[in-house]
Structure 1
Amino acid sequence: MRFVPLNSAREGSILGKSLIDENGNLLLKEGSVLTDRRIENLLEKGYSSVYIDDDYSDDEIEDIIKPEIRNKIAQKIKETFEFFSKDRQVSHKNSRIMYESMEELNNFAKNLVDELFSKSDIMISMVDIKNMDTYTYAHSVNVAVISLVIGIAAGLGRRELEDLTIGAMLHDVGKIFIPKSILNKPGALTDEEFRQIQEHTIEGYEYLKNCPIKSTSKIIALQHHLNVDGSGYPNYENTGLLHKFSRIVAIADVYDALTSDRSYRRAYSPSEAVEYIMSMASTKFDMDYVKLFVKKIVTYPVGSIVRLSDGKTGVVKSLNEGFPMRPVVELVEDRKLTQERIDLMEIKNIVIQQMVYDF
């Protein structure tokens, strides 16, 4: 299975991962054959990338949480955000519904912690597929999962991990108060539009003040766009007060955003996103958490086609734990696998230059 932009998917390709619409309904089942018409329909529905199975990528990429659990959490976040949007207009008259929603999300957070806490060797290799309509909700789930994995690597206890996870799920809640025309604008934002975007951190934090979750979870909504060098937003004079949860979520937030197709740019590959985050360590991001993050993210997932620095092409066949940029690669010649494998941990003078989607 490999992740490809839809415009690189060929007619006859086999869908490697089922597509679910914004209501949790099956849109296209795993194993379906992609025709030109189906590809066109997916593009019209706002999808830009898919997972496919082909002769180069028969290895299965497993998500670290079950797809049905991921979809349930995304749906609950969607329902919660929609309620928040309505509830704000009636001054919390429906507080019982809010408490019930928070309880359900807390239960999801606890279940995620229970499932992942003991998996010290867990790696994140799945890039999630989102369309424009479901972006905020799917993004919230991904940020929660990535933040949880970083938190586990950092040695946080179960209680802290639960608080981190629920805060990460709700980090973008302020976006429900921003017009969709601005959030999904394909072109450059005006100064006023960008100011409104920035307001989502304050708007979200102010709303969460009324929610029954820990203050350390709430602060993430306010601080996740603040940088360790004092830049970012909202204005915050003492970056030493940036909570560790906010520092973790900032990394997860940017990684998932970069690896997602947006109305104004194509998705970065995992390796491009990781390189960006590494380049911003100690200025935008906390260096210690970046080091943990890099060890947990699979930059070249199994099944990826890659171009090597010696000009050869290969398929990633297995990973070297702790060294995600130096996997084991099987070479390809004349569009066929050669069964010749090279371990980039052993051959130091060859590196991966880029991922290849069509060759």
Structure 2
Amino acid sequence: MRIHIMNLQDGDRLTADTFSDAGLHILGKGTVIKSEDISLLMQHRVDYVDIESREEEITEAEFFAAAAKFAAGSSMAAGSSIKEEPPEEEMKSQFTQTVHNYQNAFLEALTVGKFNATMVDDALQPMVDGLDEQKDVVHLLMMLERDDVNNYTHSIQVGLLSFYLASWMGYSQKESYQISRGGYLHDIGKCRVSHRIRNKMEPLTADEQLELQRHTIYGHDIIKSSMTDEATALVALQHHEREDGSGYPMQIDKNEIHPYTQIVSVADVYIGMRSGIHGGSNPNLINNLRDIYSMGFGKLNEKPVQALMQHLLPNFIGKQVLLSNGEKGVIIMNNTSDIFNPLVKVESEQYRDLSKERSIAIKELII
């Protein structure tokens, strides 16, 4: 199928060699598209390429119809061109489309220094509107985790968790959406960082680390050029600042960090732990929460950290777990005095109180 490069997605495969107007060979047949490949095509002014057909391609009209259905919680009428799907599948479909939208905004910011703010809202708002239907936040976050972690998927997950945190802390629907958008766009400045640095697997050199840190400044400038929302721009600028002054780019302390940034920073670090953005990927949600809890004493603001604890931990009750001793079981109750070591009923009908049996820990949460 022939497609405009702005509609390319990560994972699309070229079915023919691609050349510039000057005859320069750009990408070979069989190339699996990544974000840097799209940037390369744009730089050489290539407009269209040929790719393999996508198995589950949907039209823009179908996507927004599905999004409207999900937000309203209604059933599709008989004879609709979209097959009826459970809310989980619709959320996954929305997530995929929102990833595509973020990719377009990212590449637009790379080429012209700004993005279409209306298109951002058109993609993010339906997804946020549907979040009220997802009561089990632990399940939602695990459901949306992807093997192909990249800047796009990370940013969307941060945006969604930021919305929940803001709602839990008492912010209005409008404010919560604005905070969610700040999370969605917090890393947009990485478009100006060399993809070699962004994708480098080895430790960065000191100079490379400084260049990567500049994404906060780049993001602030891009958002200021794209929309009249100072708070969102400040989230991009400040999301790596820490309350003890140890962050970057300005080493400001707790009193100077915007309240919206304090929320997005917690979401960013937590999602980063899950995906490996901030260190090795860790499948143990409870250990992730324990690490975040520790950072709430000097690094991250304690209010969104506590909101995360209070609303995620109850969702663990009823979840299946794999224990470090090989047993499988179900979390029956959280221990109020030791919140990260719950009571677990194992398959042998015995109970493991992990607050007392210190040699046993939860190895993995299963959904």
Taking structure 2 as the reference length, what is the TM-score of the superposition?
0.66
1:313 is aligned to 327
Provide the C-alpha distance between the structure 2 equivalents of 1:156 and 1:240, rounded to a whole number of angstroms: 20
Q: Would the aligned equivalents of 1:24 and 1:71 in 2 still touch at CA under 8 Å?
A: no
The match for 1:355 is: 363
Pairwise CA distance, 1:169? 0.6
Taking the aligned partners of 1:350 and 1:319, their CA distance within structure 2 comes to: 15
Deviations 1:281-337 (A, max 9, x none): 131100111111112335868233123xxx572233667699974556342xxxxx4
Query: 2:157 pairs with 142, 147, 151, which one?
Result: 142
Q: Post-superposition shift, 1:239?
A: 3.3
How many angstroms does 1:136 deviate by?
A: 0.6
| 2:290 aligned to which of 275, 294, 299 | 275
Q: Aligned-pair distance for 1:163?
A: 0.8
The 8 Å contact of residues 266 and 305 in structure 2, kept in 1 or not, is answered as yes
CA distance in 2, matches of 1:210, 1:283: 33
The CA deviation at 1:354 is 3.3
Counterpart position of 1:22: 10
Whether 2:246 is the aligned partner of 1:231: answer yes
Match of 1:83 in 2: 108
Cα RMSD, aligned residues only = 3.6
C-alpha contact (below 8 Å) 1:163/1:214 kept by paired residues: no
Residues 1:342 and 2:348 aligned together: no
Q: Provide closer, same or farther for how the CA distance between residues 264 and 321 of structure 1 changes in structure 2, counting only shifts above 3 A.
A: closer
SS in 1 for 2:361: strand
1:199 matches 2:214? yes
Identity %: 21
Mapped to 1, the partners of 2:210 and 2:221 lie a distance apart of 17
The one of 312, 321, 325 equivalent to 1:304 is 321
Q: Deviations over 1:5-27 (max 9, x none)?
A: xxxxxxxxxxxxxxxx83589xx
Shift of 1:252: 0.7
Give the equivalent residue in structure 1 for 2:261.
246
Counterpart in the other structure of 1:155: 170
In the alignment, residue 355 of structure 1 is paired with which amino acid?
K
5+ residue gaps, structure 1, are: 1-20, 26-43, 47-61, 93-97, 332-336
Aligned length: 282
The residue that corresponds to 1:15 in the other structure is: none
Residue 45 (structure 2) aligns with: none
Aligned to 2:92: 67
Give the Å deviation of 1:210: 0.9
5+ residue gaps, structure 2? 1-8, 14-31, 35-86
Letter in 2 for 1:123: V
Distance (Å, rounded) in 1 between the aligned partners of 2:231 and 2:119: 19
Give the residue type in structure 2 aligned to 1:189: L
Structure 2 contact 106–191 (Cα < 8 Å) conserved: yes
Instruction: Please tell me whether the aligned partners of residues 242 and 252 of structure 2 are also in contact (alpha carbons under 8 angstroms).
Output: no
The amino acid that maps onto 2:146 is K
Partners in 1 of 2:297 and 2:352 — Cα distance? 31
User: How much does 1:87 deviate?
Assistant: 1.2
Q: 1:215 to 1:343 in 2, by over 3 A?
A: farther
Query: Greater relative contact order: 1 or 2 (C-alpha under 8 angstroms, separation 6 or more)?
Result: 1
1:122: Cα distance to partner?
A: 4.3
Deviations 1:100-129 (A, max 9, x none): xx213223443344333587x543233344
User: Equivalent residue of 2:330, what SS?
Assistant: strand
2-side partners of 1:64 and 1:233: how far apart? Answer: 39
- Tell me the distance in 1 between the aligned counterparts of 2:260 and 2:98: 20
C-alpha distance in structure 1 between counterparts of 2:111 and 2:290, whole Å: 40
